Amino acid sequence: MKKVSLEKIILKSKKYIFGDLLGNNNSKILGDGYDFAQISPYVYGENIRRIDAFSSAKSGELHTRSYYESKEVNFHAVVLGSGSLHFGTKKLKQDVIAEVVGLLGFSAIKNADSFSFAILSDKLLYQSLSKKNHNSITANVDKVLSQNFLGQKLDADFVSDYLLNHIKKRSLVFLISDFFDNFSLSAASKKHEIIAIKVRDIFEEKPSEIGFIDILNPINFENTQVAFEKNEIKNYQASLKKHDSLTREHLRKCGIKIVDIYTHENPYVKLEKALRFR
């Protein structure tokens, strides 16, 4: 498998971001910005300069225009690192995640937003505080590429505590993982706006019938013989489908958007579609 280079990721990320593939981010707070939000009935005390003449004349009552406030967004990318990220048939999930981090980081600094980054497992593996320069993004991408995820295991309580107590300000949090683990985001989603980015290899969801092979568990390093045969694959897919369905339902209830990216896909295109109209 060909290893993705740091230089290639950085050049590709800059090409997409500074080539205006992704649009600017705006806060969801109503204020005095320039991006139109809604027309609503006039409330006493509102700025009369916001009165919309056409809507007021049509309804016979005063209506005003509201706009999204132009406000700096606190970007915070969090990679949930476990041994399962060290897998891929075309490209390692770890390498794709590095590309995602590059895209998000350069998108943030293009819009003059702050960008923080962290890698978590059952402990804090790496953290980069809020910065707005290209060198810091390059360092973050390099850290993802060089991080040894083998032997790492996620701790749900630690992830929740980090999101709630270590990210002080309300932020736009990108939670990047393969989402094979279970954890609750109910509390964190009330404090932050969260977007889940699920990175997987297609083989993990649609394995081939390749018979019996020895599998080394990337978390506890146990060696197990696994049967990749029709019935076993069918049972595995049913179990995974149930797990993913419960995860999606939990994220939906929390108001969290999820972006699915596979290792054979272009992560830039998938993120562009999901984030343009965030």
What confidence tens digit (pLDDT) does each residue in 65-123 have?
Answer: 776 555 677 899 999 999 999 999 989 999 999 999 999 999 888 888 889 999 999 99
Query: Does 60 lie in the same domain as 36?
Result: yes
Task: Verify that 49 and 182 share a domain, yes or no.
Answer: no
166: in domain: yes
Beta-sheet strands, E only, within the chain: 30-31, 35-41, 63-68, 74-80, 114-120, 124-131, 172-177, 193-200, 211-216, 223-228, 257-262
Burial class, 248, CB count within 10 angstroms (exposed 0-12 / middle 13-18 / buried 19+): middle
Helix (H) or strand (E) holding 201, with range, is: none
Write down the pLDDT at residue 18: 79
Output the pLDDT for position 146.
95
Asked if the structure places residue 113 within a domain, the reply is yes
- Whether 12 and 113 map to the same domain: the answer is yes
- Has residue 1 been placed in a domain? no
Q: pLDDT tens digits, the chain, 278 residues: what are they?
A: 656 788 889 988 888 887 754 445 544 444 454 455 678 787 777 777 777 787 888 888 888 877 655 567 789 999 999 999 999 998 999 999 999 999 999 988 888 888 999 999 999 999 998 777 889 999 999 999 999 999 999 999 999 999 999 998 899 999 999 999 998 999 999 999 999 999 999 999 999 999 988 988 999 899 999 889 999 999 999 999 999 999 999 999 999 999 999 999 999 989 987 766 44
Q: What is the pLDDT of residue 276?
A: 63
Clarify whether residues 89 and 215 are in a common domain.
Answer: yes
Residue identified by tokens 């937003």 is: 113
> Does 264 lie in the same domain as 193?
yes
122 and 39 part of one domain: no
For residues 159 and 139, give the distance between their C-alpha atoms in angstroms, rounded to a whole number.
23
Q: What local confidence, expressed as pLDDT, does residue 14 receive?
A: 87
Q: How many domains would you assign to the chain?
A: 2
CA dist., res. 147 & res. 85, Å (int): 11
| CB proximity list for 178: less than 8 A, separation 6 or greater | 82, 84, 85, 93, 198, 199, 200, 204
Domain stop point among 68, 97, 121:
68
Whether residue 227 lies inside any domain: the answer is yes
Q: Are residues 173 and 116 in the same domain?
A: yes
Q: What is the pLDDT of residue 141?
A: 95
The pLDDT of residue 16: 84
Q: Indicate whether 242 belongs to any domain.
A: yes
Burial of 241 (0-12, 13-18, 19+ CB in 10 A): exposed
Q: For residue 167, tell me if it sits in a domain.
A: yes
Nearest to 170 by CA among 76, 274, 278: 76
Indicate the residue among 68, 87, 120 that finishes a domain. Answer: 68
Residues 190 and 239 grouped into a single domain: yes
Report the CATH number at residue 16: 3.40.50.410
What's the pLDDT at 71? 61
Nearest to 110 by CA among 100, 118, 102: 102
- Could you please report the per-residue DSSP string of 31-68? ES-SEEEEEEE--TTS-GGGB-HHHHHHHSS-EEEEEE
- Are 265 and 127 members of one domain? yes
Residue 116 lies in a domain: yes
pLDDT digits (tens, 9 = 90+) for 31-43: 454 455 678 787 7
Residue position matching structure tokens 């797990």: 243
The verdict on 243 and 203 lying in the same domain is yes
Same-domain pairing of 44 and 110: no
pLDDT at 28: 47
Q: Which domain holds residue 53?
A: 30-68
Q: Would strands 74-80 and 211-216 be described as parallel, antiparallel, or unpaired?
A: unpaired
Same domain as 187, residue 115: yes
CB atoms within 10 A of CB 135: 8
Give a yes or no: residue 159 inside a domain: yes
